[in-house]
Structure 1
Amino acid sequence: MTQTTKEIALSLAEYAGWYVFPVSQAGKPLVKWSTEATNDPAVIATMFNGNERIGIHTGLSGLVVVDRDNKHGKNGFKALVASGKPLPATMHYTSRSGRGRHDLFIAPTDIECTVGTDVHGMQGVDIRAGVGMIIYNGKALSHAPVLAHAPTWTILPKQESHLPADLSMWLSEERNPRLSPAVVKLIAAIPTQGVSNGDLMALITPIVSALWWGDGRNRGYRYSLQRYTKYYPTARAAFEQAWSKAITRVDADIWQQLEDTPVRTPAAGTKLHRKTVHTTPELKGAGTENRFGKLVSTSTESAKVQSAQWVWGSEQQGGIPVGALTIITGKPGDGKSTMCRWLAACITQGTLPGTWASKPHHVLYLHAEESLGHMVVPSLVANGADRTRAHVLKTPFDPTTDMDELIGLCQHIGVKAVFVDPLTSYMSGVDTHRNSEVRDALKAWSNLAEAIDGAVIGIVHQTKSGGSDFVSGINGSSAFGEVARAVLATAVDAADETRVVSQGKNSLGPLMQSREFTLDIVAVPVDDTGKTKNMPAFRLGDLTMRSAGEVFNRNKRLDRGESQTAKAWLRDYLDTNPWSFKTDIVQAAKGLYSQIALEKASQALKVQSKYVDRKIQWALRE
């Protein structure tokens, strides 16, 4: 009778004590096998459901496995015979493809072994041991297997262990973002599919070594990660671990080289410490540079104390600073994008109060979700933009590879403000909930703001549960609010439809006081047709004591109780008055429910809608 995968896995644990884990039919581990492989029958019974293959953790299972294959131009069977190396008889089985074979041996107990590929020059002969894995293709065990001891040539001692370094710290110590062509060539050698841990370390270590002085660290790491995980996304954790270990290894090697470098006999009176010569420096004047190797320092006496410049606002009032990343956040439909296009329009006209007042500048608007011709351009027109100074990109843009070109383009045109709508659409491949990845991605935009001596203003959505602290309520990692130098939010009060814009963070000055705003409808000419289309225009209103955070909090409380009653009211109204105009429904509900509550109720009821005389009608579905 054919045995199930679960039964075979249980037999490996029961009779051999081997540590097993589930693997997909494509050969990818379905759990974090390095820590979750087990020989506990109760756990194994929950791991396997019938359609998996069986992986074995060689190190925990005390195995050294000789893995021979005949594929990709390599014939491990012939290579082993030609080498003359002995291979004692032991338990073995043929791989599922029929082109390979695994010979299982007992690992030595006094040596920590590791994996190897094409060992001793034998193409197609690999060793799986230590933190290595194999996919089992043998039969179920009914007794303890008989294994030979691993022959000497199969034992590959693990090199000195290097504890993982702090990857985030290493990336943050970048001196400048430029990546040298030599490093790009090293990155190109990384395969786009998984390799053994040993092979991965061999590929990564030269890259980390080339980045040791701090140039291009973030891009070097990001490009390498994207290449390696392109078709193998589950390898991300292994890649990060290998990169962190490579940092420690390279650090140790370089410092060892410095320790071993002969030092000339010092002059009398100098002090020695760990073979590094230290002399007592003379007091030097302001601005004098001190050098040691490639490092250069200067006293802060030579640095000028500067005041901040403002795209919108002032040192006393707060606002949007020059030379930094600003984030505008809010819920869908709160007017974030319209506000950004109003800011863009004002910058092109020089009408914003701030450093650029009466000084029109060029802007670049990056849009990913809205149509250029139907939304972005008409909105810029509605808000009064000088279209000769408002630019968009005609070509695809990837900030991980094209940021240098974008900086050059902005400097060539004279762009002073770049709007990114939304910011997360230009963070492809970035896990927006991982702090280190978000910091790396946002640093590139901050560098852009500094390079153009202007501003980058990005839109990021609020979480559905966002409350009074809208900086921490940004959807994703807290790094969004931490890296941005300024954060503003737009909000609509569900109680009376009042719109407000508030500032929740300003690292360079006070918080700008909240202002009310409206979205007025403006008729925009449609090019070459003589017709017009209605578009919202941002209109800044009076100062208000009401903040966006308070509005978010109040809306959340109102939403809990109002949503159910509004839904019942709308159902009764439409049941009596089918195909009513939306404007009439809103008027009928005035004093009872807000328009936002009615909108949510219509969505919950899944009402039908149609346009009649350019107005919306609603009816219940039959």
Structure 2
Amino acid sequence: MTHPDANGRHLWPVNGPDPGVHELDPEPFPDPVHDPYESTPPTTTRRVRLTPAAGIRLRPTFWLWDGRMPHGAITIGPGREGIGKSLFCAWLAARVTLGELPGEHYGQPKSVIYAATEDSWERTLAGRLVVAGADMNRVFRVEVEHIGGMTLPLSLPKDCDAMASEITAHDVALLIVDPLISVLDEKINPHADRDLRTGLEPLAKLADQTGCTIFGLAHFNKASGTDVLSRIMGGRAFSAVARAVIAFARNTRDGDGSCVISQVKNNLGKLDVPSLRYVVESVELDTAEGPAQWGQMVITGETNVHVNDLLDDAPPSREETDRRKERELARAWLLEFLAGRDEPTWANDLYAAGAEVGNWSEDQLKNAKKNTPITVKKVGKRWYWQLPADDDAADSEEEGKSARAQERTEADPPS
């Protein structure tokens, strides 16, 4: 039973209204609207699918270039600037267009798509192809036309589908990208492996589905060592996604200006294929505006010299030369500074003096100490440096430690 209040509203007894009604409103609440998605699992465009290995059809490996460049896969060609990597691309394109390359298409001329961003076609690339003997009707420059009529450079993986159509339509067996990093979408960070794979893996799929070999040039970074794969500029994904890597280096040992091509990765074949020696010659061509010179790569035969043997023989970069010079200056100062002290010098005092004299960091001074007779020992919680006297060097156990042992003891930071 309800009771009207002063405003004529009906109040329910204190013991409460029936379920679903408000004490100031005798009408029940409406039923809530049913959400059709409430109990429905969320839709997804992904699902896990398992395929028995027994149902996978086996396929043999075919080669664009016997034992060196796999058919329908990515091959990377790293090397320093100025040793003829682009001339190799012209040589390779010519052999494919003439059907002269030993491999799957030997005796069958095929077309080549050439994507280059660093060289002019009129002044550089076309002339190189001519002197290499290419069938110019089978070599195609690639550009992308925007709907508004603007011409844009190739961008991968954005243009992979369109490239697949052109590869099929023009009987293309080889796509050359010079350099490979230049055609990746601008949003891709070439130094982040996971990001880089988003551009390279669709490119690998394009090669596999069309049967077109993709050969991309790459530059060396500033690292040292003889591991070619670790010296490719950009992320490690470049060498990981590529099925083969062919590296270039100048043959500094023979001193005749020749260069070497070596197989440094070959996931689908043998790695011990012979290295090749080549030289670069100059060829003059007549043009409508007068004669001009173009470079031509000439492979002279096999060689026992491998690119790995030449990497540390290459002339150092300007940055490396500057670092070496600075290290020698720091080393000379260290020896002079410690030679005038009879007592060991606290490391922190030495670092402060080095910073004041030559603006050298702690790490620079530690590197400068290598291959010197300077010894380091710990007293309490402090580290001390000392240049021992010649007469005492043989008698002191601390002073007789090897440079390697000293580096290990110095791992604890001085206090």
TM-score range (shorter-chain normalised) is 0.5 to 0.7
When Rg is computed on C-alpha atoms for both structures, the one with the higher figure is 2
**2:258 is matched by which residue type in structure 1?**
T
Distance 1:503 1:212 in 2: 39
The alignment partner of 1:472 has SS state of helix
Distance 1:351 1:466 in 2: 37
**1:473 is matched by which residue type in structure 2?**
R
* Corresponding residue number in structure 1 for 2:118: 369
CA deviation after TM superposition for structure 1 residue 462, in Å:
0.6
* Corresponding residue number in structure 2 for 1:379: 128
Distance 1:542 1:423 in 2: 27
CA deviation after TM superposition for structure 1 residue 326, in Å:
0.4
Matches within 5 A, 1:124-135: none
Q: Which of 282, 287, 297 is the matching residue for 1:538?
A: 297
Matches within 5 A, 1:70-89: none
Gaps of 5+ in 1: 1-207, 214-293, 566-622
* Corresponding residue number in structure 1 for 2:274: 513
Q: Does 1:434 align with 2:207?
A: no
Q: Does 1:410 align with 2:159?
A: no
CA deviation after TM superposition for structure 1 residue 303, in Å:
4.1
Distance 1:369 1:483 in 2: 24
* Corresponding residue number in structure 1 for 2:101: 352
Question: C-alpha offsets along residues 371-417 of structure 1, whole Å, 9 cap, x if unaligned?
Answer: 11111111111111100100012432222322111111111111111
Distance 1:416 1:309 in 2: 12
Summarize the Cα distance change of 1:459–1:558 in structure 2 as closer, same or farther, 3 Å threshold.
closer
Q: Which of 266, 285, 299 is the matching residue for 1:524?
A: 285
* Corresponding residue number in structure 1 for 2:308: 549
Which sits farther off after the overlay, 319-328 or 532-541? 532-541
CA deviation after TM superposition for structure 1 residue 498, in Å:
2.4
Q: Does 1:499 align with 2:253?
A: no
Q: Which of 35, 46, 50 is the matching residue for 1:212?
A: 46
8 Å CA contact 2:73, 2:207 repeated in 1: yes
Distance 1:447 1:544 in 2: 34
The alignment partner of 1:471 has SS state of helix
CA deviation after TM superposition for structure 1 residue 433, in Å:
1.2
Q: Which of 231, 245, 260 is the matching residue for 1:473?
A: 231
**2:210 is matched by which residue type in structure 1?**
I
Distance 2:126 2:284 in 1: 13
Q: Does 1:425 align with 2:182?
A: yes
Summarize the Cα distance change of 1:466–1:372 in structure 2 as closer, same or farther, 3 Å threshold.
farther
CA deviation after TM superposition for structure 1 residue 305, in Å:
3.6
8 Å CA contact 1:327, 1:458 repeated in 2: yes
Distance 2:260 2:65 in 1: 17
8 Å CA contact 1:463, 1:473 repeated in 2: yes
The alignment partner of 1:401 has SS state of coil
Distance 2:117 2:315 in 1: 29
* Corresponding residue number in structure 2 for 1:309: 62
Q: Does 1:328 align with 2:84?
A: no
Distance 2:56 2:164 in 1: 26
Matches within 5 A, 1:570-589: none
Summarize the Cα distance change of 1:555–1:394 in structure 2 as closer, same or farther, 3 Å threshold.
closer
8 Å CA contact 1:519, 1:539 repeated in 2: yes
Distance 1:561 1:423 in 2: 29
Q: Does 1:482 align with 2:240?
A: yes
8 Å CA contact 1:513, 1:544 repeated in 2: yes
Distance 1:553 1:211 in 2: 51
8 Å CA contact 1:410, 1:452 repeated in 2: yes
CA deviation after TM superposition for structure 1 residue 298, in Å:
4.5
Summarize the Cα distance change of 1:490–1:298 in structure 2 as closer, same or farther, 3 Å threshold.
same
Gaps of 5+ in 2: 1-41, 145-151, 326-415
The alignment partner of 2:105 has SS state of coil
Distance 2:183 2:205 in 1: 15
Distance 1:537 1:378 in 2: 10
CA deviation after TM superposition for structure 1 residue 299, in Å:
4.8
* Corresponding residue number in structure 2 for 1:127: none
**1:480 is matched by which residue type in structure 2?**
F
CA deviation after TM superposition for structure 1 residue 493, in Å:
2.8
Summarize the Cα distance change of 1:518–1:563 in structure 2 as closer, same or farther, 3 Å threshold.
farther
8 Å CA contact 2:175, 2:213 repeated in 1: yes
* Corresponding residue number in structure 2 for 1:614: none
Distance 2:245 2:44 in 1: 37
Distance 1:562 1:537 in 2: 34
Distance 2:322 2:296 in 1: 30
Distance 1:371 1:542 in 2: 30
Summarize the Cα distance change of 1:343–1:562 in structure 2 as closer, same or farther, 3 Å threshold.
farther
Distance 2:45 2:103 in 1: 41
Summarize the Cα distance change of 1:425–1:498 in structure 2 as closer, same or farther, 3 Å threshold.
same
8 Å CA contact 2:258, 2:280 repeated in 1: no
Report the number of matched residues: 271
The alignment partner of 1:356 has SS state of coil
The alignment partner of 2:158 has SS state of helix
Summarize the Cα distance change of 1:563–1:476 in structure 2 as closer, same or farther, 3 Å threshold.
closer
CA deviation after TM superposition for structure 1 residue 333, in Å:
0.6
8 Å CA contact 1:331, 1:464 repeated in 2: no
